[in-house]
């Protein structure tokens, strides 16, 4: 249903388009949680209580049993949360014509703003960090929503390695420019990322890879709980 909604909107999707679906899923998720908390030993009792509790017959079909519905609902929460993050990011243009990534104004902005700041790893706000956040979120969106390659956060962790690698600079001049962007980038946080051999550019590349990996896993750790949306 979510993918159909997005496809029907072509390239005009906004977070506001997704909010009715988000509110529907949030309500249904709460009802499921209320039923699950009672710990029914019988699916029949579970079924009857759930259908009395949730009166939206357009959403809750007669065959729906909470324990059967939960995996489907969790997958929808996964798709919705990354879709909302993806459509909350936008490219804007400065007076000097340079582009930068920013967050759109919507009900989730403060939540995502805090997460993006966590991704800065104590650096001052800068375009490179915002750009990497956009790279990671875009990758997750296409893998989860567009291509249906990811069904859970654990799968996302396995998938993210290639994206971290492809986001790392390959040109030496770009690596030097990145290193100059913040003096705190000159030291490894984890020596496990440091190559045993290699020239100075391989070392800088490994250091940059470490920071992109940090950004990716900061997002994934928050994504583990659907960014606390539900």
The tokens describing 137, both together, are 């979120």
Q: What is the predicted pLDDT for the residue at 84?
A: 97
- What is the dihedral angle through the alpha carbons of 216, 219, 223, 225, rounded to the nearest 10 degrees? 130
Residue numbers of the domain that contains 125: 2-228
Question: CB–CB of 40/189 below 8 Å?
Answer: no
Print pLDDT tens along the chain (230 aa).
Answer: 455 555 555 557 899 999 999 998 998 888 888 888 888 777 777 777 777 766 665 555 555 667 777 888 899 999 999 999 999 999 999 999 999 999 999 999 999 999 999 999 999 999 999 999 999 999 999 999 999 998 888 889 888 999 999 999 999 999 999 999 998 899 999 999 999 888 999 999 999 999 999 999 999 999 999 999 99
Instruction: Give which of 98, 166, 104 is closest to 132, Cα–Cα.
Output: 166
Angle at 19 between CA 15 and CA 24, to 5 degrees: 155
CB 186 within 8 A of CB 203: no
With a CB cutoff of 8 Å and minimum separation 6, the contacts of 135 are: 163, 167
DSSP alpha helix (H) spans, 54-199: 66-88, 109-119, 127-141, 153-167, 172-180
pLDDT of residue 173: 97
Please give the mean pLDDT across all residues of the chain. Answer: 88
Q: Which two tokens stand for residue 147?
A: 């291509």
Please state the pTM of the whole predicted model: 0.87
Q: Which residue has the tokens 């499921």?
A: 32
Measured CA to CA, the distance from residue 120 to residue 90 in angstroms comes to 18
Token digits of residue 36? 């699950």
Distance CA 3, CA 52 (A): 29
Alpha carbon distance 229, 81 (integer Å): 7
How many domains does the structure of the chain reveal?
1
Contact 227/116 with Cβ under 8 angstroms? no
Q: Which two tokens stand for residue 205?
A: 């590349």
């Amino acid at each position: 249903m979510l993918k159909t909604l997005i496809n029907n909107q072509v390239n005009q999707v906004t977070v506001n388009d997704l909010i009715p679906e988000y509110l529907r899923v949030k309500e249904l998720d709460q009802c499921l949680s209320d039923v699950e908390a009672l710990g029914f030993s019988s699916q029949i009792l579970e079924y009857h209580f759930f259908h009395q509790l949730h009166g939206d017959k357009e959403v809750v079909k007669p065959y729906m049993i909470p324990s059967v519905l939960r995996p489907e609902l969790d997958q929808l929460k996964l798709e919705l949360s990354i879709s909302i993050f993806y459509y909350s990011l936008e490219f804007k243009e400065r007076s000097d014509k340079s582009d930068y990534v920013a967050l759109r104004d919507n009900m989730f902005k403060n939540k995502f703003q805090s997460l993006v700041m966590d991704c800065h790893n104590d650096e001052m706000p800068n375009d490179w960090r915002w750009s990497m956040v956009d790279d990671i979120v875009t990758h997750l969106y296409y893998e989860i929503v567009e291509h249906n390659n990811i069904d859970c956060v654990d799968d996302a962790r396995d998938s993210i390695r290639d994206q971290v690698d492809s986001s790392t600079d390959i040109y030496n001049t770009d690596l030097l420019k990145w290193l100059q962007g913040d003096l705190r980038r000159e030291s490894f946080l984890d020596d496990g990322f440091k190559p045993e051999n290699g020239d100075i550019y391989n070392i800088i590349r490994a250091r940059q890879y470490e920071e992109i990996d940090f950004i990716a896993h900061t997002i994934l750790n928050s994504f583990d709980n659907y960014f606390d949306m539900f």
